[in-house]
Structure 1
Amino acid sequence: MKTIYREQASMDNAAFESVVEEVKQEFGLTALERRLLGEALVLLADTRTRALQLTTEFSRRQGRAAPDVHDFQLPAIIDLQRRFCGQQQPLIE
């Protein structure tokens, strides 16, 4: 089952990369828009982090292998925060 997650993760990463490049080229975002995008990415990362925690706890109780951060696209989200929003540090609490 983890293999399916990994395959989906690599496809999603490619999609993220494509979207980032398109937005950079086609849209000149203002500082406000970048800030809003940054806030949205923080909320997405927080939600995905909580989902990872819950899934990990559930998997362990069931005696199954726990998912990892790639299954929830956390590295891709952090990368978007750094590259697209110009944030040096990821804003995951």
Structure 2
Amino acid sequence: MLFKVGDIVAVHADTSRIGPVIEVLQNADRFGRNRVFHGPGNMREYAGDRLVLAAAQHALPEDGLSPEEFRARLVAARLSHPLTDHVYSLRAAQIRVG
């Protein structure tokens, strides 16, 4: 299946791994490759045949999201788990605690 940026997808083998497609990569096969955001520092690439659209409550409108709405949803998701970003920012800034 071919996906577009903003589609909320799940990994076919583990449907608990859900995330938005953040990039559709060029590929010669009929399935394409997609970069999916699973969380801060956790982006993975999958062939299109390894992904399925997430449950209806997570599905996006037919025309997808505008870049501004996608960023707003991404910020909302990150704010719902603020400690994750805090831990990663400490490591990225090479700050020593304690």
- TM-score strictly above 0.5: no
Which structure carries more strand by proportion? Answer: 2
Which structure carries more helix by proportion? Answer: 1
Larger relative contact order (Cα-Cα within 8 Å, sequence gap ≥ 6): 1
